[in-house]
Amino acid sequence: MDSNEIYSEIIKNNLKREKILSKYACKSIMGVRRHPEREEIEDRINIRPAFFHDTDRIIHSLAYTRYIDKTQAFFLFENDHITHRVLHVQFVSKIARVIGRCLSLNEDLIEAIALGHDLGHVPYGHDGENYLNEIINKKENLYFNHNAQSVRFLMELENGARGLNLTLQVLDGILCHNGEILEKEYAPETNKNWDKFLEDYEKCWTEKDYSKKLRPMTLEGCLVRICDIIAYIGRDIEDAITVKLIKREDIPGEVVRVLGNTNRDIINNLAKDIIENSYNRPYIMFSKDKYNALKLLLDFNYKYIYKNPVKMTENEKIKRMFRELFELYLKDLETENKESSIYEWFLDNMSEEYLRSNSKPRIVLDYIAGMTDDFFNNEFKRYVLPKSYGYCMEQ
Q: Return all residues near 81 (Cβ < 8 A) that are at least 6 apart.
A: 242
pLDDT > 50? residue 394: no
Please tell me the number of Cα atoms within 13 Å of 325 on its side-chain side. Answer: 29
pLDDT > 60? residue 393: no
Residue 267 shares a structural domain with residue 334: no
Q: Return all residues near 5 (Cβ < 8 A) that are at least 6 apart.
A: none
Residue 375 shares a structural domain with residue 328: yes
The number of residues in the chain equals: 395
Provide the number of structural domains found in the chain: 2
Q: Stretch 180-207: mean pLDDT, rounded?
A: 94
The stretches of 103-124 forming alpha helices (DSSP H) are 107-116
Residue 279 shares a structural domain with residue 373: no
Domain end, chosen from 254, 277, 306, is at 306
Domain end, chosen from 306, 327, 360, is at 306
pLDDT > 60? residue 389: no
Look at residue 273 and tell me if it is in a domain.
Answer: yes
CA separation for the pair 330, 365 (Å, rounded): 10
pTM: 0.93
CATH number at residue 169: 1.10.3210.10
Residue 249 shares a structural domain with residue 335: no
pLDDT at 75: 58
pLDDT > 60? residue 351: yes
pLDDT at 78: 58
CA distances from 65 to 59, 170, 198 (A): 8, 19, 26
CB 84 within 8 A of CB 72: yes
Residue 35 shares a structural domain with residue 108: yes
Exposed (0-12), middle (13-18) or buried (19+): which is 50, by Cβ within 10 Å? buried
CB 330 within 8 A of CB 361: yes
Range of the domain at 329: 315-383
Mean per-residue pLDDT over the chain, rounded: 90
Domain end, chosen from 281, 306, 331, is at 306
pLDDT at 354: 95
**CA Rg value for the chain:** 22
DSSP state of 76: S
